[in-house]
């Protein structure tokens, strides 16, 4: 972290003063983002390049995502489990496309103390190979299927691009789903169900609007037959991939001998899927909703939905704190995540700035004058609009405000996406759209050869996903002119 992100003591007062964000989001997006992450105390850097610390506030957001996803996965019959962090090299090499795709990013363990290991161990970049070695022993009959497993764990991918907290780190957290089915149709249906789950989580909780669909051949997961993702268009004009799902077909089951005896007594290979949502979503959340004052968190995902800041003076401190505590209990009774900032070593103004920086959706201010009028002042973080609210009705007003804030953030995200899509007919128009910080939309055949040409000639843009649900399904590919479907192109962040 730079010195800008540190705190300093106010002379003569002993009060720590947050310097706040020193750049505007529209002027230096990268620096704005880095400062927002650091100063809101979401994450910090470590001595290991590209590896971050998730501080309690940042981890609390991840816990919210984990909770909501986990509830829904269990309803789908998915069971949580855990497999080793270390993967023998011989297992990693079993599926040729898979190892080729991950080889540049694998970190290896070669020694135990001073003793060289007989076989190198990969530090988990993903778990297909270690898990499927076990599945080959567990799956024997059609009665053993479907088998739906998930891990909440960490993975290491030793990327050499510029590390960015949450967005691109060498170690990150995720949910790692692995399923095996008796039929292709069951596997394909699960892909649809998982993508619907991701849509619900990202739209209803994170208030993020994105485009979803199938990845092109060159962009799919290593070892999969097809990959699907939700893609987000960021305010800096670039795109970021969100949660995904991969239809692996029988590639891995054949490599690892995951066979079962079907109802007719014949051996078949299982059909498999993998899917994930990661801590990257916290980064996308910050980038999409944050402003020049710091984070803006949707209420459903905010660790603290309401912060009460009492305005304290010596002659009325006791009464104001009592009123603030009473208000906190009323809001807690409505299942609202509320905190009371009763610290008297900081000024009210300093606390206002701190909680705005942290993106708490609603702030309530209450002081001696408010008590005389039997009211409090409510501020909505997303718009910074204030209103006076009677104490007798404040719980209902706050509850309504939280719902309105959640809805308005999603609508704003959706509008930002829709206003930045540019229709294109060829590569030069994709390049122009990328240069103008737009998300290009045109027909694409999805071939690896055409993808190569786009990357070479479209100002750094690539295909993000092919919109399978679009009503405008068929048209001429922007590269080769063959039949294609609506696809989105953009520069990756």
Helix then strand then coil, % of the chain, to nearest 5: 35, 30, 35
Same domain membership, residue 366 and residue 448: no
Same domain membership, residue 162 and residue 136: yes
pLDDT digits (tens, 9 = 90+) for 2-44: 333 333 333 334 444 446 899 999 999 999 999 999 999 999 9
Whether 66 maps to a domain, the answer reads yes
For residues 7 and 405, the model is more confident at 405
Same domain membership, residue 463 and residue 393: no
Whether 20 maps to a domain, the answer reads no
Number of domains in the chain: 3
Task: Assign 290 to helix, strand or coil.
Answer: coil
Q: Which two tokens stand for residue 113?
A: 């103390």
Same domain membership, residue 274 and residue 203: yes
Q: Is the separation of the CB atoms in 289 and 207 below 8 Å?
A: yes
Whether 313 maps to a domain, the answer reads yes
Under the banding of pLDDT at 50, 70 and 90, the label for residue 267 is: very high
Q: Give the contacts of 300 (CB within 8 A, at least 6 positions apart).
A: 64, 204, 205, 207, 406
- Average pLDDT of the segment spanning 194-213: 97
Question: What CATH number should be reported for the domain holding residue 453?
Answer: 3.30.110.30
Same domain membership, residue 173 and residue 280: yes
Q: Give the contacts of 260 (CB within 8 A, at least 6 positions apart).
A: 139, 140, 141, 142, 144, 145, 182, 267, 268, 270
| DSSP 8-state secondary structure symbol assigned to residue 264 | T
Same domain membership, residue 199 and residue 112: yes
User: What pLDDT is attached to residue 12?
Assistant: 32
Pairing status of strand 271-278 against strand 171-181? antiparallel
Among 13-22, 155-164, 433-442, 455-464, which is the least confidently predicted range?
13-22
Question: What CATH number should be reported for the domain holding residue 371?
Answer: 3.40.50.800
User: What pLDDT is attached to residue 222?
Assistant: 86
Same domain membership, residue 169 and residue 220: yes
Whether 413 maps to a domain, the answer reads no
Count CA atoms within 13 Å of residue 283 on its CB side: 29
The dihedral sign for the CA sequence 368, 373, 376, 380: negative
Question: What CATH number should be reported for the domain holding residue 264?
Answer: 3.30.930.10
Same domain membership, residue 272 and residue 325: no
Whether 264 maps to a domain, the answer reads yes
Among 372, 401, 430, the domain-final residue is 401
Q: Is the separation of the CB atoms in 214 and 465 below 8 Å?
A: yes
Share of the chain above pLDDT 90, in %: 89
pLDDT digits (tens, 9 = 90+) for 464-483: 999 877 566 789 999 999 99
Same domain membership, residue 208 and residue 174: yes
User: What pLDDT is attached to residue 104?
Assistant: 83
Strand (E) or helix (H) holding 9: strand 7-9
**Overall size of the chain counted in residues:** 493
User: What pLDDT is attached to residue 3?
Assistant: 35
Q: Which is nearest to 227 in space by CA: 394, 470, 465, 397?
A: 465
pLDDT digits (tens, 9 = 90+) for 68-113: 999 999 999 999 999 999 999 999 888 777 777 778 889 999 999 9
- Average pLDDT of the segment spanning 418-442: 97
User: What pLDDT is attached to residue 38?
Assistant: 96
Q: Give the contacts of 379 (CB within 8 A, at least 6 positions apart).
A: 362, 363, 364, 365, 385, 386
Whether 160 maps to a domain, the answer reads yes
Whether 43 maps to a domain, the answer reads no
What residues are paired with 241 via a beta bridge? 231
Q: 210 lies in which domain range?
A: 52-289
User: What pLDDT is attached to residue 98?
Assistant: 73
Q: Which two tokens stand for residue 191?
A: 């892909």
């Amino acid at each position: 972290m730079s010195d800008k992100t540190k705190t300093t003591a106010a002379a003569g007062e002993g009060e720590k003063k947050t310097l706040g964000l020193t750049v505007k989001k529209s002027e230096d997006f990268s620096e704005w983002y880095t400062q927002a992450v650091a100063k809101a105390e979401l994450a910090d850097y470590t001595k290991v390049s590209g590896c971050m610390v998730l501080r309690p506030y940042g981890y609390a957001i991840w816990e919210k995502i984990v909770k909501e996803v986990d509830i829904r996965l269990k309803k789908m019959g998915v069971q949580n489990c855990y497999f080793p962090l270390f993967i023998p090299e011989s297992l990693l090499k079993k599926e040729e496309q898979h190892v080729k795709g991950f080889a540049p990013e694998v970190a290896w363990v070669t020694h135990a103390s001073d003793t060289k290991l007989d076989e190198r161990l990969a530090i988990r970049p993903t778990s297909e190979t270690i898990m499927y070695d076990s599945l080959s022993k567990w799956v024997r009959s059609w009665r053993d299927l479907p088998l739906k497993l998930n891990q909440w764990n960490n993975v290491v991918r030793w990327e050499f691009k510029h590390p960015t907290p949450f967005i691109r780190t060498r170690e990150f957290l995720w949910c790692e789903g692995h399923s095996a089915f008796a039929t292709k149709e069951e596997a394909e249906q699960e892909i649809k169900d998982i993508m619907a789950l991701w849509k619900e989580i990202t739209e209803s909780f994170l208030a993020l609007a994105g485009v979803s669909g199938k990845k092109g051949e060159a962009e799919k997961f290593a070892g999969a037959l097809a990959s699907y993702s939700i893609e987000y268009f960021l305010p800096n004009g670039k795109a970021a991939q969100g949660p995904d799902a991969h239809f692996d077909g029988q590639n891995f089951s054949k490599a690892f001998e995951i066979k079962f005896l079907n109802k007719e007594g014949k051996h078949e290979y299982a059909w498999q899927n993998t899917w994930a949502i990661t801590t990257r979503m916290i980064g996308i959340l910050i980038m999409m909703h944050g402003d020049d004052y710091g984070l803006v968190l949707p209420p459903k995902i905010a660790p603290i939905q309401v912060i009460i800041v009492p305005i304290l003076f010596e002659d009325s401190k006791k009464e104001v704190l009592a009123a603030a505590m009473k208000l906190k209990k009323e809001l807690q009774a409505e299942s609202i995540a509320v905190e009371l900032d009763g610290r008297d070593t900081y000024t009210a103004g300093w606390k206002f700035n701190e909680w705005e920086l942290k993106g708490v959706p609603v702030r309530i201010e209450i002081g001696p004058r408010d008590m005389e009028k039997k009211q409090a002042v409510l501020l909505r973080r997303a718009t910074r609009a204030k209103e006076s609210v009677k104490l007798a009705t404040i719980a209902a007003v706050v509850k309504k405000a939280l719902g309105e804030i959640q809805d308005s953030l999603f609508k704003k995200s959706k509008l930002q996406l829709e206003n930045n899509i540019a229709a294109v007919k060829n590569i030069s128009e994709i390049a122009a759209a990328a240069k103008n910080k737009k998300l290009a939309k045109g027909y694409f055949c999805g071939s690896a050869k055409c993808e190569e040409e786009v990357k070479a000639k479209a100002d750094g843009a690539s295909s993000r996903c092919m919109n399978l649900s679009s009503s405008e399904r068929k048209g001429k590919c922007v590269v080769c002119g063959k039949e294609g479907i609506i696809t989105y192109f953009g520069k990756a962040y």
